[in-house]
Amino acid sequence: MTYRVGSAQGFYGDNVLSALPMILGGHVDVVCFEALAELTLAILQKDKLKDPNRGYTFDLAIIASKILPEAYQRKIPLICNGGGLNPQGAANMVRDTAEKLGLKGIKIAAVTGDDVLSRLEELNEKGETLAHLESGAAFQPGDYPIANANVYLGAAPIVEALKNGADMVITGRVADPCLYLAPLIAHYDWAWEDWHRLAAGIVAGHLMECTGQVVGGNSLAVIDTLDSRDLNKLGYPIAHVEADGSFILTNTPGLPGIVSSETVKEQLLYEVHDPAQYITPDVVADFTTLKLDDLGDNRVRISGVTGKPRPEKLKLNLGRLEGYMRELIFTVGYPEAWKKYEQLKTMISETWRGLPIDRVEYSFLGINSLYGSVAPLPADPLELVIRVMFTAKDETTLKNAVRLMMNNGLSGPAGMSISGSTIGADPRIILGLYPTLISRDHIMPNIAYLEV
Amino acid sequence: MPKRLYDIAYGRTGDKGNIANISIIARTPQAYQDIKAKLTAERVKQQLGDLVLGEIVRYEMDNIEALNFVCYDALDGGGTRSLRIDPLGKSLAGALLYMEWED
């Protein structure tokens, strides 16, 4: 018997209801939901500042009300890192929902300990320099306000919660593929030094953690073979994992999508640096030894994954509030489109003279906005859509900059227009991600259980 | 129409902070031998121009006949900071697949 792991979420806002056909069809033994991109925790911090009971992903409410009742009835555990900055608050919400739905006997686990925002000074005093992972530069606490500081935890607390009978495990920052590794360790009792098997579980998780991306989403490989009408109906992936770690990756039966060697290769290298050293908190996986066998019928077998001992330190990401950005889109047309662009540029710099604006960047939509200098510029274009991006430390400066530009509405270059929806838009936060490493000794995950 | 890298390979971009990785996956075993021999990090750096300000490191994956190019300082500060219209560089692989390719 293989153990079947389903993946029903790849980002905050994904279609978590894709878990239902997996569960109702009897196709999975556990379902994992991966909700946290690098930026997500900082977004959740904004929610938490407004309401201390929040700070978790809204998707969890859908999981609790629509998916948990079906999963609990069939004894299929659910694992989700969408607890974000408040796994305990999320667990409280799930418990309240379970109570209302009459799910007697249900056990919910909340994993905390990844959030070290309030401990940065203490960690600094304990000898953690928190030097920047890429540049090596020393940490300067006063540089910018810090929105969040979360350590990437591994699979261990989830494994413990599952072994203690949790029906749903809610975590904060757990490294994405470790969410999927955890139920495999719990089920097969893999040892913590069984590097090859742990690495195989990581590869399974890595392939599934972006849901639709391995069944034909975001895929050049299937651009000619996948029906466009199916793109919004893709099934999400399921791995059938053997005790030795080898597994068959497949789609949710009966749903559209393509799982082939080609789609698996695309996802295998997605967000990967050195493929021989894919670093996770639990193991360093080597993707260069594995073998893919396309078995047909949307089934690809992956075997031969090898692993090396886990890294000594854990990764810690700080999110720093560096300011705000704003977008305005202007259009000019033939004749003299380039001259009109130069006039606009001059008018903007004259108008904003004296305002504390940090950066102004220009690009031309449909010409070079994606590919910069790779794209050749036309000599005498019929139309130019000019995108102006500008930044400041505070929102008020950006609002003033827009207002002052609007005052020029009838004085600009001939035929110039401004996209109305960009005039009314809100500024967006600029978040600087600051990655660093931290000793494992300082991080003690905690598990709280709630029962109905 | 000139022959392009896309004719013999496909690929996808991923992001981590200000680092983008571009996978280039050969369509045939012969295509893999060709890209392994000719698609050097230097050529990729040249093709990507001012999209990538930092170093580019190439990794080979013989087992799946693919190359992985890790591009440093490639996302205008990273997805949460970038002023580009495609801040995560989702379409970046296309700039490389557009490269003219001579057999």
Instruction: Render each residue's pLDDT in chain A as its tens digit; 452 residues.
Output: 899 999 999 999 999 999 999 999 999 999 999 999 887 998 898 889 889 999 999 999 999 999 999 999 999 999 999 999 999 999 999 999 999 999 999 999 999 999 999 999 999 899 999 999 888 888 876 778 898 999 999 999 999 999 999 999 999 999 999 999 999 999 999 999 999 999 999 999 999 999 999 999 999 999 999 999 999 999 999 999 999 999 999 999 999 999 999 999 999 999 999 999 999 999 999 999 999 999 999 999 999 999 999 999 999 999 988 999 999 999 999 999 999 999 999 999 999 999 999 999 999 999 999 999 999 999 999 999 999 999 999 999 999 999 999 999 899 999 999 999 999 999 998 988 889 999 999 999 999 999 99
In angstroms, the CA A8 to CA A310 distance is: 27
Q: b or e along A23-59 (b: 16 or more beta carbons within 10 Å of the residue's beta carbon)?
A: beeebbbbbbbbbbbbbbbbbbbebbeeeeebbbbeb
A127 occurs within a structural domain: no
pLDDT at B103 over 90: no
* A25 and A76 housed in the same domain: yes
**Across B74-103, average pLDDT:** 95
* A301 and A336 housed in the same domain: no
Look at A270 and B15 and tell me if their CB atoms are within 8 Å. no
* A208 and A257 housed in the same domain: yes
* A263 and A306 housed in the same domain: yes
Name the band, by pLDDT with cuts 50, 70 and 90, for residue B61: very high
pLDDT at A112: 98
A357 occurs within a structural domain: yes
* A306 and A324 housed in the same domain: no
Task: Tally C-beta pairs within 8 A across A and B.
Answer: 123
Residue from the list B19, B64, B77 with its beta carbon closest to the beta carbon of A265: B64
pLDDT at B79 over 90: no
Contact between A360 and A389 under an 8 Å Cβ cutoff? The reply is yes
pLDDT at B59 over 80: yes
Give the structural domain span for A290.
3-114+152-311
Domain boundary among A311, A329, A363: A311
A135 occurs within a structural domain: no
A390 phi and psi angles, rounded to 5 deg: -145, 155
Domain boundary among A311, A346, A367: A311
CA-based nearest distance A369→chain B, Å: 6
* A286 and A343 housed in the same domain: no
- Domains of chain B, residue spans: 5-97
pLDDT at A253: 98
Query: How many structural domains does chain A have?
Result: 2
* A93 and A194 housed in the same domain: yes
B28 touches chain A (CB under 8 A): no
pLDDT at A43: 84
CA-based nearest distance A286→chain B, Å: 11
Look at A220 and B95 and tell me if their CB atoms are within 8 Å. no
pLDDT at B64 over 80: yes
Look at A275 and B59 and tell me if their CB atoms are within 8 Å. yes
Cβ contacts (< 8 Å) between A291 and chain B: which residues? 63
CA-based nearest distance B2→chain A, Å: 16
CA-based nearest distance B28→chain A, Å: 11
Nearest chain B residue to A272, by CA: B21
Q: Which residue pairs, CB below 8 angstroms and at least 24 apart, start in B29-34?
A: B29/B65, B31/B65, B32/B62, B32/B65, B32/B66, B34/B8, B34/B103
DSSP state at residue A14: S
Cβ contacts (< 8 Å) between B85 and chain A: which residues? 363, 365, 369-370, 387
Contact between A78 and A169 under an 8 Å Cβ cutoff? The reply is yes
pLDDT at A433: 87
Q: Beta-carbon neighbour count of residue A351 at 10 Å?
A: 15
Those residues with Cβ within 8 angstroms of residue A232's Cβ, 6 or more apart along the chain or in another chain = none
pLDDT at A91: 98
Could you tell me which of A393, A315, A343 has the C-alpha nearest to residue A116?
A315
pLDDT at B94: 98
A209 occurs within a structural domain: yes
> Hey, of A371, A387, A389, which one would you mutate to test binding to chain B, going by the most B CBs within 10 A of its CB?
A371
In angstroms, the CA A74 to CA A68 distance is: 10
* A347 and A261 housed in the same domain: no
Mean pLDDT over each residue of chain B, to the nearest integer: 96
Tokens found for residue A237? 């992936």
Look at B10 and A319 and tell me if their CB atoms are within 8 Å. no
Nearest chain A residue to B89, by CA: A370
* A296 and A372 housed in the same domain: no
In angstroms, the CA A114 to CA A111 distance is: 9
CA atoms within 13 A on the CB side of A11: 9
pTM, rounded to two decimals = 0.96
B15 touches chain A (CB under 8 A): yes
Arch. (CATH architecture) of B5-97? 2-Layer Sandwich (3.30)
B42 phi and psi angles, rounded to 5 deg: -65, -45
CA-based nearest distance B91→chain A, Å: 7
* A354 and A301 housed in the same domain: no
Residue from the list B21, B80, B91 with its beta carbon closest to the beta carbon of A370: B91
Look at A269 and B15 and tell me if their CB atoms are within 8 Å. no
Look at B80 and A432 and tell me if their CB atoms are within 8 Å. yes
Torsion of CA A257, A262, A266, A272, to 10 degrees: 130
Domain boundary among A311, A331, A350: A311
Nearest chain B residue to A365, by CA: B85
In angstroms, the CA A92 to CA A372 distance is: 48
